[in-house]
Amino acid sequence: MGKSTTYDQLSDEAKETLKVMVEYCINHNLCMGMDEGFAQFGSDEQDEVKHHFRQELEAFCGFEN
């Protein structure tokens, strides 16, 4: 296994690529677990509730909550 790299050590190109990959996963509900990153799905009576990690990833990509 290679040496661990932190986000701050990544090149600008790698950071942008990572952001686009995360954005794609969010937009297509991929790699978010079986519940797609939602603690509770929305309905007519209740709002959806997102897991904290999904909220963090959406903020990282600049999505509005």
* 3 assigned to some structural domain: no
Structure tokens at 62: 């600049």
Task: Specify the higher pLDDT residue, 27 or 65.
Answer: 27
State residue 36's pLDDT score. Answer: 86
What would the pLDDT profile of 11-48 be if each residue is shown by its tens digit?
999 999 999 999 999 999 888 888 888 888 888 888 98
Query: In which residue are the tokens 């007519």 written?
Result: 44
Total domain count, the chain: 1
53 occurs within a structural domain: yes
The conformational region for residue 59 under phi > 0 = left, psi -120 to 50 = alpha, else beta, is: alpha
Per the structure, the complete domain to which residue 51 belongs is given by: 12-33+47-65
- The answer to whether residue 58 sits within a structural domain is yes
Q: Is residue 56 part of a domain?
A: yes
